[in-house]
Chains A and B, each alone.
Chain A
Amino acid sequence: MDFSNTEEQQMLQESVQKFVYKSYDFDTRKQIIASEKGFSQENWDLFAELGWLTVPFKEDDGGFGGSAVDLAVMMEEFGKAMLVEPFIATAVLAGGVISEQGSAEQKAELLPKIMEGSLQLACAYAEQGSRFNLANIKTSAVVEGDTVILNGSKTAVLNGSNAEILLVAARESGAATDSEGISVFMVDASSAGVSIQSFANVDGKKSAEINLKDVSVPVAQRLGASGSALQALQDGVDRATLAVSAEAVGAMESLLHKTVEYSKTRKQFGTAIGTFQALQHRMADMFIECQLARSIVIMAAMKLDGGESALEKTKSVSAAKSRIGRAIQKVGQEAIQIHGGIGMTEELDVGHLFKSVTAAEIMFGNTDYHTQRFASL
């Protein structure tokens, strides 16, 4: 048993820390969010150069063959500084789905481009009526000869505004919530009939609502066999769930640290507010939440890497996301409360960390959803 970082994990961690220290302070982040793309291409190129974009990929796919623990270690550092670059959307989620579901040719065509930083992707799976049920897909895919016609609309498409290729989950057969009949198609974002409404989420990350009207795609753009994509989607989303949970652990760490430091300097009634027991116990509880959150993310990562059954892996991801979600509400809300009015302002980073973890709580299924999913598996 050894819970310390391996040498590789240590290197990854230090590499992200160094980058953040040099090029990702709070003001720089603000400028990046305000830019047209909403992320920095320069940073993205650097991520590729540093090899970060290969971490989520298997060695067979030409990747670094990173474990889930490696990924979690990295994402925690991303979370501390609230990086908005679409690492999860492109490399973890979309890359993961292609790696699971794509043919050898499809993988050979796309994965190297992701890893070298020249391709942005987005996975369009959620719909207005589906909430967090991945199997609930109404977007239709009708095969006509060599082409497929897609109709429907997608919501919460992370990185949807910057992606050159959209991975669109659509139904070829079956009723709206059947697990069979779902396929994923690679759709050129500039195709006729694709309309993209772009915006930033509360955490500053770019997202989109996407409408598909009679979009015509060659059948060859389907990932894998017809109607068989749900498992790959689920695995990709599970891994992305772990990644976003680890990001939240990092962001909560920042929230706790900033809150404790603030309470040592902010004076009221002639004394630092951190000397008040009413606040001390709340910060002690924040600390406990941060520790439990880290423990359960490590557990889920270890189980994803280990020899457990697919069911156990999925269960551990839901256990982690459920527990993380409770920690997020507690730590986020208390951080604002203890900061008082200044915590409510746009100018201070604490409020932005709160917004980041709030987005993380909802992303890939909120606390209630994952609690129920855990209970039902």
Chain B
Amino acid sequence: MNADFTAEELQFEIEVREFLQNDFPAEYREKVDAGIRLSKDELVHWQKILYKKGWAASNWPVEHGGTGWSATQKHIFATEMGLIGAPEPVPFGMKMVAPVLMAYGSDEQKQRFLPDILESNVWWCQGYSEPNSGSDLASLKTSAVRDGDEYVVNGSKTWNTYGQYADWIFCLVRTDTSVKKQEGISFMLIDMKTPGITLKPIVLLDGHAEVNEVFFDEVRVPANNLIGEENKGWTYAKVLLTHERTNISGVPRGKRRLAALKRLAGNTDDGFGGTMLENSAFKTKLAQVDIELQALEYSELRTLAALSVGKAPGPESSILKIVGTELAQEMDELFVDLAGYNCLPFVPEQFEDGFQGEAVGPGSSAAAALSYFNNRKLSIFGGSNEIQRNIISKAVLGL
């Protein structure tokens, strides 16, 4: 039993670290550290830098222009990216629709869509959830009715992240209402410029419109935009979900935030002549978070080691989602703790790119509550943590 990387893996780690030190633009790094959101152009620019290096698609096979990395290499890459604060490629194209295309798309579809995803020329968004279909996703109602060479789509999707930037959307739509709910769903790609699509931004608790509701009104979609077979969409979507549960624990980002918490605590007055790093209640909470992060890291390494000897990612990885997200939320609570009064001012625009006014509060302290509010999403999305517990109790415990 050992947690050591091989010599080749260590060499790879150095290569990744050096590349990120040199090529992740310093101005983006500063923004990330200051809690300022990167713009679409900046994110795309960074992804194109990764593309030039050949590292845009860490989870893709070589034949499609991916890195073909082992599970451990992917882990090392994600770790180094997280430690420096470099954003992962926007997942909707690279990590969500591309694997479905590779597995179930026609050759024509692969050639048409994959290169633009790889080069970050096309921005994708996701059309899964609906106003009345959340955790019970299979109950979705957006309909696609075949009409000659086209489907006519009607309905609405919600919690659509960054749809305002997107060129294309991949959707789960209902193509048969007469069968069991899982068996009448199809997987469809839709051009966002198609007439009949409208977007309504949804402002979240942090004041930012990160998500949208997307309405489809008699939207005509070419039939060759259907992936695989009609009514098999649920199977495709599910297969994807079970294969994308590595690197979801957020350990590297957690380490970065923990270091930030310690620095900040050392610079924050406790009001009684000491710093918050000496405050015993805060210190204990910080220690618990630190310890939990280590337990999570070794849980992830154990999963990774199992993957690297060829075992399939089991439902055990639901643990990583639950613990990782709950830990990230605890860290937000600690940032709120540290900020004290300074987390009260609600001035979200000061953390937008290009803000010119006078900032309120020291450093990014006023972002603490915004992040705390925003990160409540973590335990809700990607299969809520209750859904993950259902998965554990059924698939692992056999209940």
A residues whose Cβ falls under 8 Å from a Cβ of B: 1-6, 9, 69, 260, 263-264, 274-275, 277, 280-281, 283-285, 287-288, 291-293, 295-296, 298-299, 302, 316, 319, 322-323, 371-372, 374-375
Is B34 interfacial (CB 8 A cutoff)?
no
A292-B390 in contact (CB<8A): no
B283-298 residues at the A interface, CB under 8 angstroms:
283-284, 286-288, 290-292, 294-298
A5-B1 in contact (CB<8A): yes
A291 in complex: contacting residue of B1, B299, B398, CB < 8 Å: B299
Is B349 interfacial (CB 8 A cutoff)?
no
Of the 9-residue stretches B2-10, B90-98, B336-344, which lies at the interface with chain A? B2-10
- B292 partner residues in chain A, CB cutoff 8 A: 292, 323
Sampled A-B contacts (14; CB under 8 Å): A1-B3, A1-B301, A1-B305, A4-B1, A264-B399, A274-B399, A283-B399, A284-B390, A285-B389, A292-B319, A299-B3, A299-B294, A302-B3, A372-B284
Complex CA distance for A9 and B399, rounded to whole angstroms: 32
Interface of B is mostly: helix
CB-CB under 8 A for A1 and B323, given A284-B392, A371-B284, A371-B291: no
A3-B397 in contact (CB<8A): no
B399 in complex: contacting residue of A280, A296, A298, A319, CB < 8 Å: A280
For the complex of A and B, 9 pairs with smallest distance between CB atoms = A280-B393, A375-B287, A295-B298, A284-B389, A284-B392, A296-B295, A292-B295, A295-B299, A3-B305
A281-B397 in contact (CB<8A): no
Complex CA distance for A277 and B301, rounded to whole angstroms: 30
Complex CA distance for A69 and B298, rounded to whole angstroms: 14
Is B316 interfacial (CB 8 A cutoff)?
yes
- B304 partner residues in chain A, CB cutoff 8 A: 1
Is B306 interfacial (CB 8 A cutoff)?
yes
- A275 partner residues in chain B, CB cutoff 8 A: 399
Complex CA distance for A263 and B397, rounded to whole angstroms: 11
B interface bracket (residues with beta carbon within 8 Å of A): 35 or more
- B284 partner residues in chain A, CB cutoff 8 A: 371-372, 375
B294 in complex: contacting residue of A9, A284, A296, CB < 8 Å: A296
B299-A292 in contact (CB<8A): yes
The chain B residue sitting closest to A277, CB to CB, is B390
A298-B291 in contact (CB<8A): no
- A291 partner residues in chain B, CB cutoff 8 A: 299, 316, 319
A283-B393 in contact (CB<8A): yes
The chain B residue sitting closest to A4, CB to CB, is B1
CB-CB under 8 A for A260 and B386, given A298-B1, A302-B2: no
Shortest CB-to-CB span from B56 to chain A, Å, is 26
- B5 partner residues in chain A, CB cutoff 8 A: 1
Complex CA distance for A40 and B332, rounded to whole angstroms: 52
Interface of A is mostly: helix
- A6 partner residues in chain B, CB cutoff 8 A: 1
- B309 partner residues in chain A, CB cutoff 8 A: 2, 4
Complex CA distance for A161 and B284, rounded to whole angstroms: 37
Complex CA distance for A372 and B308, rounded to whole angstroms: 37
CB-CB under 8 A for A260 and B2, given A281-B393, A374-B291: no
Is B227 interfacial (CB 8 A cutoff)?
no
Complex CA distance for A287 and B391, rounded to whole angstroms: 12
Complex CA distance for A69 and B1, rounded to whole angstroms: 8
B296-A292 in contact (CB<8A): yes
A295-B1 in contact (CB<8A): no
Complex CA distance for A293 and B294, rounded to whole angstroms: 11
| Residue interface bits B289-332, CB-to-A below 8 A is 1, else 0 | 01110111111011011101100000010010011000000000
Is B72 interfacial (CB 8 A cutoff)?
yes
Shortest CB-to-CB span from B270 to chain A, Å, is 15
A1-B72 in contact (CB<8A): yes
| Residue interface bits B369-399, CB-to-A below 8 A is 1, else 0 | 0000000000000000010111011001111
Shortest CB-to-CB span from B177 to chain A, Å, is 28
B298-A298 in contact (CB<8A): yes
A263-B399 in contact (CB<8A): yes
CB-CB under 8 A for A323 and B291, given A2-B305, A295-B299: yes
Further 18 A-B residue pairs, CB within 8 A, beyond A281-B386, A284-B388, A372-B287:
A1-B5, A1-B72, A1-B304, A3-B1, A3-B305, A3-B306, A4-B309, A260-B397, A260-B398, A283-B397, A287-B392, A288-B319, A288-B323, A292-B323, A316-B294, A323-B292, A371-B287, A372-B284
Complex CA distance for A298 and B305, rounded to whole angstroms: 13
The chain B residue sitting closest to A259, CB to CB, is B397
Complex CA distance for A3 and B309, rounded to whole angstroms: 10
The chain A residue sitting closest to B391, CB to CB, is A284
B319-A2 in contact (CB<8A): no
- A285 partner residues in chain B, CB cutoff 8 A: 389
- B388 partner residues in chain A, CB cutoff 8 A: 284
Complex CA distance for A235 and B225, rounded to whole angstroms: 66
Complex CA distance for A288 and B385, rounded to whole angstroms: 12
- A371 partner residues in chain B, CB cutoff 8 A: 284, 287-288, 291
Complex CA distance for A17 and B112, rounded to whole angstroms: 58
- B3 partner residues in chain A, CB cutoff 8 A: 1, 3, 299, 302
Complex CA distance for A280 and B309, rounded to whole angstroms: 31
CB-CB under 8 A for A287 and B291, given A4-B1, A69-B1, A299-B298: no
Complex CA distance for A133 and B38, rounded to whole angstroms: 50
- B1 partner residues in chain A, CB cutoff 8 A: 2-6, 9, 69, 298, 302
- B286 partner residues in chain A, CB cutoff 8 A: 375
- B288 partner residues in chain A, CB cutoff 8 A: 322, 371
